[in-house]
A = this chain, B = another copy of it.
Amino acid sequence: MAQTQARTMPGVLELLPREQIAFQRMLDVIARNYRLFGFLPIETPVMEFSQVLLTKSGGETERQVYFVQSTGALEKDGQPELALRFDLTVPLARYVAEHERELSFPFRRYQIQRVYRGERAQRGRFREFYQCDIDVIGKDHLSTRYDAEIPAVIHSVFRELAIGPFTIQLNHRKLMRGFFEGLGIADGEQQMLVLREVDKLDKRGADAVRATLTGEGFGLAEDVVAKILQFVQVRSTSLADAVDKLDALGAGSDTFEQGRDELKQVLTMVRDLGVPENRFALNLSIARGLDYYTGMVYETTLDEHPEIGSICSGGRYDNLAGQYTKSHLPGVGISIGATRLFWQLREAGLIATADSTVQALVTQMDEAHLADYLALANELRAGGIATETVMEGGKLGKQFKYADRAGIRFVLVLGDEELAKGTVTVKDMRRNDQFEVKREELIKALRVELEQAAVMPVARD
């Protein structure tokens, strides 16, 4: 038969089973913590009507969209009616607007699905990747208190993921806006441009940003730029320090004061929610590229891997779904780009290949005893232990080797002797240990071992 080369498109992360297991565990930790904080699951179709998907977005997004056409539509040569979602926010807006009457507000949803962007193929850039989002959507209004829950969720997720110490960094768009207004940069458009430059501080360095801001395009005075750079370099080391540094900024416009008040309130509540003070900090340089944040903004970085950048970002927005409904729907949320995070953690050596989901392998010594092996596998499964049975024998050594390579922890041997005595010989591949156990005590023995292994190491705060 003429053969086609078996290959995936570039820009996707396709994993081998044991990598997939490690990735799935990461998603499970994220989902479990989202649920723990009272967020409800939803899923939306991978496709939306192009018209729905592209109402708001600018040219950049549109250039990255994947359009979808059925064969029939292709033949008609029309403009594509459908497109793949490029984030989970637009589908959420559409979902909330479509099902508004059937939802309770504040609506707390989590969503863990893949999104699609026609990025230029490049190492570490993905065209298909998981986003793990939470949002709380209010109807007409949403208390700032919800903004304080977000860092508590972030803390809970990354503590359990145990990928090292991290810092949740907080800022407020109104504080920033008020500050700029105080410097005479009152035009929103101009503020946004300055914010975008300031956002590049870490990447380009202070000198380059200063040069741009005093240069032709912006034409800001030296002392104004100095104040801006001083402002954006504010970081706090504790809650008290954050409050002090906020107070030290001096008086400002109403917008400025509102931002400062909300920041203080949120920071205090984050502490009340049990987040250790070394896990969150004021960082007045956080602006977030997106234009739609209007209040709190969040970024999270790994203390020992700043090169990875923000691993979880988000913020408060004024109105989620203005393009679909007249209802005013303010919200606050964050997103974890799980595919990129997993890839980066693997690159940084912070994630190991997981053990198999298969916990026990029932070996085959003698074909004549196959029914006994199957019965043993049944017992194990009934006891909740994921079990594979060797269906075609061969040398026992080879069966052990298979288990070892596959990452299966327990290899069970049921020979004539064991059958006569009513026992099973267990080889623990992890501990390189071997023991014989009575058949009726087998499940309990394996469970104890497996439960000990399942206790995840929790990073110290």
* Chain A, range 319-370, C-beta contacts under 8 Å to B: 321-326, 356-358, 361, 370
Q: Are the CB atoms of B64 and A42 closer together than 8 Å?
A: no
Residue of B whose beta carbon sits closest to that of A118? B70
A169 CB, min distance to chain B CBs, angstroms: 21
Stretch at the interface among A44-52, A309-317, A436-444: A44-52
Q: Are the CB atoms of A108 and B388 closer together than 8 Å?
A: yes
A387 in complex: contacting residue of B36, B41, B52, CB < 8 Å: B36
The answer to whether the Cβ of A290 comes within 8 Å of any Cβ in the partner chain is no
Interface size for A (C-beta < 8 A) is 102
The answer to whether the Cβ of A8 comes within 8 Å of any Cβ in the partner chain is yes
The answer to whether the Cβ of A185 comes within 8 Å of any Cβ in the partner chain is no
Q: Are the CB atoms of B104 and A16 closer together than 8 Å?
A: no
The answer to whether the Cβ of A15 comes within 8 Å of any Cβ in the partner chain is yes
Q: Are the CB atoms of B40 and A98 closer together than 8 Å?
A: no
Residue of B whose beta carbon sits closest to that of A273? B374
Residue of B whose beta carbon sits closest to that of A13? B45
Convert A30-72 into 0s and 1s, putting 1 for each residue whose CB lies closer than 8 angstroms to a CB of B: 0000011110111111111101100100000011111111111
Q: Are the CB atoms of A66 and B63 closer together than 8 Å?
A: no
Taking CB atoms, residues of chain B closer than 8 Å to A321 are 6
A73 CB, min distance to chain B CBs, angstroms: 8
A8 in complex: contacting residue of B5, B98, B118, CB < 8 Å: B98
Taking CB atoms, residues of chain B closer than 8 Å to A324 are 3-6
**Cα separation A129 to B389 with both chains bound (whole Å):** 32
Q: Are the CB atoms of B1 and A51 closer together than 8 Å?
A: no
The answer to whether the Cβ of A187 comes within 8 Å of any Cβ in the partner chain is no
**Cα separation A38 to B381 with both chains bound (whole Å):** 10
Convert A80-107 into 0s and 1s, putting 1 for each residue whose CB lies closer than 8 angstroms to a CB of B: 1010100000000111011100111010
Taking CB atoms, residues of chain B closer than 8 Å to A361 are 38
Residue of B whose beta carbon sits closest to that of A381? B36
Identical copies in the complex: 2
Supposing A40-B356, A374-B269 touch, asked if A16 and B69 sit within 8 A by C-beta, the answer is no
Taking CB atoms, residues of chain B closer than 8 Å to A108 are 388
**Cα separation A44 to B80 with both chains bound (whole Å):** 25
Q: Are the CB atoms of A9 and B49 closer together than 8 Å?
A: yes
A275 CB, min distance to chain B CBs, angstroms: 10
Q: Are the CB atoms of B389 and A38 closer together than 8 Å?
A: yes
Q: Are the CB atoms of B55 and A4 closer together than 8 Å?
A: yes
Q: Are the CB atoms of B143 and A391 closer together than 8 Å?
A: yes
A429 CB, min distance to chain B CBs, angstroms: 15
**Cα separation A278 to B106 with both chains bound (whole Å):** 49
The answer to whether the Cβ of A20 comes within 8 Å of any Cβ in the partner chain is yes
Taking CB atoms, residues of chain B closer than 8 Å to A3 are 323-326
**Cα separation A35 to B359 with both chains bound (whole Å):** 9
Q: Are the CB atoms of A381 and B146 closer together than 8 Å?
A: no
A48 CB, min distance to chain B CBs, angstroms: 7
Q: Are the CB atoms of A46 and B381 closer together than 8 Å?
A: no
A382 CB, min distance to chain B CBs, angstroms: 8
Q: Are the CB atoms of A7 and B49 closer together than 8 Å?
A: yes
A369 CB, min distance to chain B CBs, angstroms: 11
**Cα separation A395 to B67 with both chains bound (whole Å):** 49
Q: Are the CB atoms of A69 and B70 closer together than 8 Å?
A: no
**Cα separation A323 to B1 with both chains bound (whole Å):** 7
Q: Which of A16, A94, A325, A386 has the most CB of B within 10 A?
A: A386
Taking CB atoms, residues of chain B closer than 8 Å to A274 are 374-375, 378
* Chain A, range 220-239, C-beta contacts under 8 Å to B: none
The answer to whether the Cβ of A21 comes within 8 Å of any Cβ in the partner chain is yes
The answer to whether the Cβ of A405 comes within 8 Å of any Cβ in the partner chain is yes
A391 in complex: contacting residue of B16, B146, B371, B389, CB < 8 Å: B146
A-B pairs, top 3 by smallest CB distance, nearest first, are: A38-B388, A70-B118, A6-B97
Chain A interface (Cβ within 8 Å of chain B)? 1, 3-9, 12, 14-18, 20-21, 24, 35-38, 40-49, 51-52, 55, 62-72, 74, 80, 82, 84, 93-95, 97-99, 102-104, 106, 108-109, 114, 116, 118, 128, 143, 145-146, 149, 156, 269, 272-274, 321-326, 356-358, 361, 370-371, 374-375, 377-378, 381, 384-389, 391-392, 402, 405-406
